[in-house]
């Protein structure tokens, strides 16, 4: 039997071992871009060029991180967003992304915009094992953890959205003549694939299908082609600039088709207002976010918080541009992932935490829509609701 003094020494040794192991467990772990005081995040955004209407996403994200930093940061660390202009040109995206990773030493890339620009750096970032998080595009390739385990989407996939709009079109216009305009890249092709799948047998109702290039000055000729084909339903996939052009031209031609408008071009501030709000009355889209122009949200706390944030932290941002709600929500998602990381700010843990979200609710998402991910599910948002434009706002339609 141990003596009292020997027993005390044993107990002291055990306690010391426990304390030491606990300290080791709690030891901070950092990869490039992280420290006791800072977390550096990289991003590319089209601050110039044909897709510059989306650049407000990067600006509102930076503003949100400024707010978080003013409140003490995440786990005591300030967020630095290094957002570079790529002009929506893939070669510039490659150059900027390599600089962010190899010279600026960012911890990860997040919220970069565009299907083609992100595709151009997807393989590079996966080889480097740098998280490519919450890609600001809904192409299906962002949800492929088997082949690209370091790339994750954020919004619903374009194919899912296209299928929702296709099913609605087939059910609502069973004898329609459908005209299709889409952006000639992976995003447009994803939308059309989903739309046709949703139409099912009604895909035979498509009487004309045409595309445009981002370098095109206008889409006037494409709109004329669809009208000439006799289409009375217009599936219009385009960025806000070309949506505005297409809707104006449709009005000038006194062509009055039912307009089916994917969410990427449905911003009231960036697309419908420049075209003339009255010209889009009755258009239908698929939504997952609260429309800032919809008065139904005026007393909603989530909307009020967003409005207060915009007025204080991003006063030059448009209060009728849904992209500002989008970027705000994406920034909140990033903050949540960083909170989950604690003091283990390694690229591997960032990816692990991004793939471990469970029913995350964000204030500017529609009620009932949340974010969930797993090691095999890299599309956080999967639900959408149909909405109709009433001349002022997108009004969510009954289920």
**pLDDT of 10 above 90:** no
Q: How far apart are the first and last CA of the chain?
A: 75
Report residue 7's pLDDT band, with 50, 70 and 90 as the boundaries. low
SS3 235: strand
Q: What is the mean pLDDT of the chain?
A: 94
Residues 260-265 have a mean pLDDT of 96
**Could you give the CA distance from residue 162 to residue 233 in angstroms, rounded to a whole number?**
15
Residues forming a β-bridge with 244: none
**pLDDT of 20 above 80:** no
Least confident of 4-13, 69-78, 147-156, 225-234: 4-13
- In order, the DSSP letters of 127-196 are HHT--EES-BS--GGGG-TTT-TTB---SPPHHHHHHHHHHHHHHH-TT--EEEEEESSHHHHHHHHHHH
Query: What burial letters (b/e) apply to 161-173, b meaning 16+ CB within 10 Å?
Result: bbbbbbbbbbeeb
pTM of the model: 0.87
Residues forming a β-bridge with 80: 40
pLDDT tens digits, 295-348: 999 999 999 999 999 999 999 999 999 999 999 999 999 999 999 999 999 999
């Amino acid at each position: 039997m141990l003596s009292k003094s020997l027993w005390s020494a044993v107990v002291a040794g055990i306690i010391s071992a426990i304390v030491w192991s606990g300290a080791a467990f709690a030891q901070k772990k950092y990869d490039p871009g992280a420290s006791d005081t800072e977390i550096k995040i990289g991003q590319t955004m089209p601050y110039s060029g044909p897709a510059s209407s989306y650049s407000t996403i990067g600006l509102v994200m930076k503003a949100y991180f400024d707010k978080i930093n003013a409140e003490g940061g995440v786990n005591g660390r300030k967020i630095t967003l290094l957002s570079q202009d790529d002009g929506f040109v893939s070669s510039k995206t490659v150059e900027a992304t390599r600089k962010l990773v190899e010279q600026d030493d960012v911890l990860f890339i997040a919220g970069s915009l565009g299907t083609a620009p992100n595709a151009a750096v997807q393989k590079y970032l996966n080889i480097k094992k740098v998280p490519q998080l919450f890609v600001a595009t809904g192409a299906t390739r962002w949800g492929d953890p088997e082949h690209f385990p370091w790339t994750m989407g954020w919004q619903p996939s374009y194919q899912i959205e296209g299928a929702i709009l296709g099913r609605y079109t087939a059910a609502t216009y069973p004898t329609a003549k459908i005209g299709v305009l889409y952006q000639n890249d992976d995003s447009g092709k994803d939308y059309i694939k989903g739309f046709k799948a949703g139409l099912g047998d009604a895909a035979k109702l498509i009487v004309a299908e045409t595309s445009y290039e981002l370098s095109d000055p206008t889409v006037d000729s494409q709109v004329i082609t669809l009208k000439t084909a006799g289409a009375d339903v217009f599936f219009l996939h385009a960025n806000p600039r070309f949506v505005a052009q297409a809707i104006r031209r449709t009005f000038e031609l006194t062509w009055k088709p039912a307009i089916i408008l994917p969410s990427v071009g449905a911003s009231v501030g960036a697309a419908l207002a420049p075209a003339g709000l009255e010209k889009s009355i009755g258009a239908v889209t698929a939504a997952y976010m609260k429309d800032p122009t919809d008065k139904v949200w005026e007393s909603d706390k989530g909307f009020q918080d967003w409005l207060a944030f915009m007025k204080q932290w991003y006063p030059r941002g448009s209060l009728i541009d849904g992209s500002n709600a989008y970027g705000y929500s994406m920034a909140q998602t990033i903050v949540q992932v960083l909170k989950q990381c604690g003091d283990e700010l390694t690229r591997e843990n960032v990816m692990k935490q991004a793939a471990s979200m469970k029913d995350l609710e964000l204030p500017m998402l529609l009620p009932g829509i949340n974010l969930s991910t797993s090691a095999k599910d890299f599309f956080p948002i999967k639900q959408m609701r149909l909405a109709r434009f009433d001349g002022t706002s997108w009004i969510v339609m009954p289920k």
